[in-house]
Amino acid sequence: MTARNILVTGGAGFIGSFLVDRLVEEGHKVTILDCLEPQVHPDGPPDYLNPEAEFVQGNILDRILFSKLLKENEIVYHLASAVGVGQSQYQIDHYVEANTQGTARMLDILVNEEHSIKKVVVAASMSSYGEGLYEGIETGKKVRPGLRPASQMEAGDWELKDPETGERLRPIPTPESEAFQENSIYAMTKAHQEEMVLNIGRTYNIPSVATRFFNVYGPRQSLSNPYTGVSAIFMSRIKNDNAPVVYEDGNQSRDFISVHDVAAALSALKDSDALDYEAVNVGTGNPIPIAEVARTIAKVCGKSIEPDIQNKFRKGDVRHCYADNTKLREKLGWEPKVTFEAGIKELVEWSDRVEAEDKFEQAAAELKAKGLV
């Protein structure tokens, strides 16, 4: 394998750091560009940063710095992003600047300045789908129902219905061909990132891929950041002997994928042109109810803590969405290898070595104050 110069924006973060480790292990020269967002990295550079990678602390909006790094590298994994659905609904300027404008800055450099980039991989998100794909329980008719009406949610009637016929629906895997129905500023900005990168890639013949991540979990997720993934939020609650708070009835489902499987998919993309100029789902294809996630974490932690099922809803939440990962499997030969229980065991073992400050109540109060719960 030929060693390459690879830039990973957001490479000090959860997913980025595992990708960096994998690329370094493969013998590549890796540069990390990360601003060390205080909400994610309150103590500065994390101790897991790979010492064999070059770390540059800086912002992707710094054109001079970004331009220099794009000249020095031939592949860029653009993972730098402001993350969090609820928070994006009231930190609008921050999310649009970090995600949409940050990606625009990179693309403007690639179009208008000298650079060495031969491939761009951008982190996109399943959140841009909104509700996933469904089918009628009786008819088998495929439906994209959109958000449930507030009146239905207020009645505690959680499952989806065909908006035209009222038929009950069941979720089925969502393929990349389904249109976006973004329900948050975060989801919109992730769609912007994906669409801009693929558009400019096609226009200027820069091979580009958008990876639509589903619910990624694993070690190095910030356990003290109440806007991170649900598995990490549940972990911080349980470690502090508090019941994980679950909205609706707990049967809403997501597609949880280990960060190791995500890093493997990302790494494989650089060695193949099979997905160039395309978006691709990165998920297991296996939906897991949210209440089951809470119970699995408690079980692995050895604690008899039941989730606090609220039977309340948050504005903009979707009921079910999980990946049709056929494209990734068939075109890249990738398969998810980490089972959910094995992944949770690894997360719990890692969490025993780090501090987990439970800030859920603070975050929930903030969402309530903004009228989102």
The catalytic site residues sit at 186
Query: What are the tokens at 73?
Result: 């590298």
Sheet with 29-34, edge to edge strand ranges: 54-57, 29-34, 5-9, 75-78, 119-125, 208-213, 278-282
The answer to whether the Cα torsion of 273, 78, 324, 128 is positive or negative is negative
Q: How far is CA 324 from CA 7, 49, 183, 217, 341, in A?
A: 29, 33, 21, 19, 21
Return left, alpha or beta for 231; rule: phi > 0 is left, psi -120 to 50 is alpha, else beta: alpha
The answer to whether the Cα torsion of 69, 6, 58, 90 is positive or negative is positive
Name which of 136, 130, 124 is nearest 178 in CA terms: 130
Contact 295, 309 (CB under 8 A): no
